[in-house]
Structures are given as C-alpha cells and as structure tokens.
Amino acid sequence: MAPAAAPRTMLGKIWDEHEIMRHPAGPSLLYIDRDMIHEGSFHAFADLKRRGLKPRRPKQIFGVADHYVPTLGRSARDAASPAIAKMIDTFDENMEWGGVRHFGLTSREQGIVHVVAPEQGITLPGLTIVCSDSHTSTQGALGAIAFGIGQSENAHVLATQTLWQTRPKTMRVTVDGALGQGVTAKDVMLALIAKIGAAGAGGYAIEFAGPVVRNFSIEARLTLCNMSIEAAARFGMVAPDEITFDYVRGRHFAPSEQEWDGAVAHWRELVSDEGAVFDREVVLDGAAIAPMVTWGTSPEDAVAINGHVPDPSAFDSADKRKSAAKSLDYMELTPGTALDGLKLDKVFIGSCTNSRIEDLRAAASILKGRKVVIPAIVVPGSTQVKEQAEREGLAATFKEAGFEWRESGCSMCAAMNGDVVGPGERCASTSNRNFVGRQGPGARTHLVSPAMAAAAAISGCLTDVRRL
C-alpha cells in the first residue's frame, strides 16, 4: 500500500495544482488563472508593446477602472485634472488594444477591482489570481491564491500567463469565541496587526480560521483578507464552505449550472487537511476584541476606542520609539489623549476594505434619524453595490443624514482621483492605510469600521459605536 500523503494546507494544494514546473534554482512556475488590470497597470502594457507582444490569454484578463475615476460624475470630463482624465483614456485604449474585457467608467459592472472581481464571479475558489495592486489579497477570501504584483510581474503574466514564485510560509490565524456587539472584521484585523505588527506576517500566507471566521459572511471575509497585506502577508485566505458556494453560484463568470456540482466537489477538497502543519499559529480571542481605531501612521498603531494615545517611550524598540514620536508629531496628538472624543474634520466610508453592501448597511443602521455634523462622504465599492443600496433605501438614509452619496471608485482611499483630505485635516476612514499623506499631503487618517465611521460623522469626533 502506498504511504498516506502528508496532510497539506489549502495553500499547498492550490499551489501544487498550479505548478507547471520547478526551476532548479528554487521557484515554481505557477500558472495564473486570472489577472485583473486597473489604470495604474499602464507600465506593464507599455512593456508589452515595447517587446512587440500581445496579452497571451485575453479572456483570462479583466480590466476595471477604479483608482483614478471621478466620483462626482461618470465621464472622463468629470476627472479632477486633464492628467487624471488621460489615465482613464489610456486604460480604455490599452484594454481595446489587448482585446481585454473591461469595465470602464460608464459600465454597470464598474467598481473597485477587489469588489468587482468577487461580484462578477471572476474570483473563485481554487484559482490563482493576480493584480498589480497589493490588496489583491482580498480575493483569497473565497479560497483562492490571490496576490498583488508589480508592473514587471504583470507584464510577465500578460505575456506568459505564468509567474515564477517561491512558496510562502504559512500562518494560521484562528479567531476563537464570538465577537461582541459593534465589533467587526475590520476590528479583528486591526487587533491582529496591533498584536503581530505591520511586518508580523512578512513572508507568510495567512489562512484565517476558527468559529468567528466560519460565521463571517463573504463580505466580512473579504475585509479580513484585504488587510492581510497590512500585516505584510501577501496572501490572505479563508477555506471555501457553503457560505462561499452560495455566494458564488450564478455569478457571471462562475461555472454554469451544468458544471456546478463538479466544481463544488473539487472545491471541497481544497480545504486544509486535518493535521496540516502551519509554520506559525496565532490565536485571537474574539470576545476580547473591542471596536478599534488607529492613532498613528501605520496600521499597527491601533488600539481599542476606549484606549489612549500611547507614550512613545513605552515601546520596546528604539526604532519604534522614534517612529511613534514622529507619527504623533504628524498626527498632532499628545500621549495620554483619550481617542474617544477626539475631534475630526471629515469622514470617509469606502475603499476595497469596507464599501460592500453589508458595510453600507452597518453604517446606515447607525445613521437612521440622525444628522452628520462634519463633512462626510460614502463611495460605494461598485456601481452594483451603489444600485443595490439605492434599492434598499440605504442611499436615502445616508443622504438624509447629510452624507454625500458618490459614484463608485477608490476615491479618498488613495487620493489619486483628486478626492483628498486637506492638509492638517483629521479624517475617520474605513480604508486600510493611515500612512503619512495617503489621503492627501498632510492628511491625518484614523482607520475605523463603517459603523464607527458613521458614529464619528454624527458626533464630529471619534466615538465608541457601542454607546449609540
């Protein structure tokens, strides 16, 4: 009898299934099932043109306009500057040139690439998916190997539909117990990153597990995997289950009804085997997590909303003491300040972290019958999310509360389309990065969940949503 194969992780199984060959020097040549393109991918197309090559498998490539699109209108003329309008036009031209299906500015399928891909059934369990965007980790939530790449790697995928990759180490993050009221996937991730650090999962692929994760909807799982990269993990994954299959079924680019049972049978085999060994295990107690907020300029600078701005001298490492002091200077905060009650200038609900329908429902539920006291905008993650929110009456709730209701795109998450937080302004944001200048030169970002952002908008300051 052949010896039983060693138990494998989900990452290992999907990896093995995509390995064309292994180079004597180490890395695997991986087959890439799907490649997502956005306006920023233009360098890869320029590279291809320079070589006289065309995309090898245009049907496995999908384009979405998101980073530079205006949110106040749906024409390139609405763009904040001619240079930005040119990015949108160049994108369309490249997609036409490459024969790549794309969802441009006026398409009903348009939206943020990592919101659109699952929505359209482009993201599926068991696939390898890349995009020249670090938050491609988001799409691992359906049980896929999905990771961000640069422009050189993207040109390589366009030309060969493959990539040379070294298999990452594996980390299992188990979230035990149950989350308290007002605590979301966003808070779980901020708590995780605060615990292991912004470099904590460098070189690893994270698989999220445990009862909290199993009970999460696809939207919440997407939020988890989205922020894996903020812990330095290029990959985040959740094993596919009934919740995944229900979500995927019937979506445009998913297997057809005739193919369905076979596909699901295969997907069920992809989950990590009992006894599979992970290189590192991290366990979080779900009940101990509070709604979180960041105080500094790295996502690891997160504490519970009822916490305080820390004293830089309290950190163990000299480098962190220095950078925390610099962060506080940039954020104009003093140690010991209570975060609950900190005055704000702006609120942004959006980004591939928190702009899906459930996120909008959570925020709207806080807003019912209340009014914002500071400028606040909602940018739905996709045009379909926007339309659904309008049908469900969420858009009306946002507008009655005084929120601006925008068209879909990346918007104020990365401030590339001209939607910016002004210099020195303090913004509660549902996005993923509180980096210096991320939301605009001099902008100060506090990362929070959608419900916390809504609470902040009606009180004008950081607010513990559990009080409302």
How many amino acids of this chain bind ligand SF4 (CB under 6 A)? Answer: 14
DSSP 253: T
Taking alpha carbons only, the member of 248, 246, 228, 249 closest to residue 237 is 228
Element (H, E) at 52: none
Shortest separation between residue 467's beta carbon and other proteins, angstroms: 32
Please name the residues in contact with 261: beta carbons below 8 A apart, sequence gap of 6 or more: none
Shortest separation between residue 88's beta carbon and ligand SF4, angstroms: 14
Is residue 419 within 8 A of residue 71, CB to CB? The reply is: yes
Q: Which is nearer to ligand SF4, 44 or 113 (CB)?
A: 113
234 binds ligand SF4 (CB under 6 A): no
Is residue 202 within 8 A of residue 313, CB to CB? The reply is: no
Which residue of 25, 242, 265, 369 would you call a contact of other proteins, by CB under 8 A? 25
| Binders of other proteins in range 133-162 (CB under 8 A) | 133-134, 148-153, 155-156, 159-162
Three-state DSSP state, 157: helix
Three-state DSSP state, 357: helix
Shortest separation between residue 272's beta carbon and other proteins, angstroms: 21
| Cα separations in angstroms, 101 against 98, 132, 136, 251 | 9, 17, 19, 16
Shortest separation between residue 389's beta carbon and other proteins, angstroms: 27
422 binds other proteins (CB under 8 A): no
414 binds ligand SF4 (CB under 6 A): yes
135 binds ligand SF4 (CB under 6 A): yes
| Binders of ligand SF4 in range 419-438 (CB under 6 A) | 431-432
Which residue of 37, 413, 443, 453 would you call a contact of ligand SF4, by CB under 6 A? 413
Residue pointed to by tokens 């998916």: 129
Shortest separation between residue 347's beta carbon and other proteins, angstroms: 21
457 binds ligand SF4 (CB under 6 A): no
Shortest separation between residue 379's beta carbon and ligand SF4, angstroms: 9
Which residue of 234, 346, 406, 444 would you call a contact of other proteins, by CB under 8 A? 234
Q: Which is nearer to ligand SF4, 112 or 451 (CB)?
A: 112
Instruction: Please name the residue ranges forming H helices in 161-241.
Output: 185-196, 211-215, 218-226
Bridge-partner residues for 368, per DSSP? none
Check the CA dihedral 464-336-200-351 and report its sign. positive
**Both tokens assigned to 56:** 């090898």
How many amino acids of this chain bind other proteins (CB under 8 A)? Answer: 76
Which residue of 276, 352, 367, 385 would you call a contact of ligand SF4, by CB under 6 A? 352
Binding partner of residue 351 among other proteins, ligand SF4, none, CB cut-off 5 to 8 Å per kind: ligand SF4
| Binders of ligand SF4 in range 153-212 (CB under 6 A) | none
Is residue 134 within 8 A of residue 222, CB to CB? The reply is: no
CA dihedral 14, 15, 21, 22 (to 10 degrees): -160
Q: Which is nearer to other proteins, 253 or 273 (CB)?
A: 253
Please name the residues in contact with 71: beta carbons below 8 A apart, sequence gap of 6 or more: 377, 379, 406, 407, 408, 409, 411, 417, 419
Shortest separation between residue 306's beta carbon and other proteins, angstroms: 25
| Binders of other proteins in range 277-306 (CB under 8 A) | 298, 300
Euclidean distance between CA atoms 270 and 257, whole angstroms: 21
Which residue of 9, 33, 125, 139 would you call a contact of other proteins, by CB under 8 A? 33
Find how far residue 362's CA is from the centre of its chain.
18
Q: Which is nearer to other proteins, 277 or 325 (CB)?
A: 325
| Binders of other proteins in range 73-102 (CB under 8 A) | 83-84, 86-87
Q: Which is nearer to ligand SF4, 135 or 386 (CB)?
A: 135
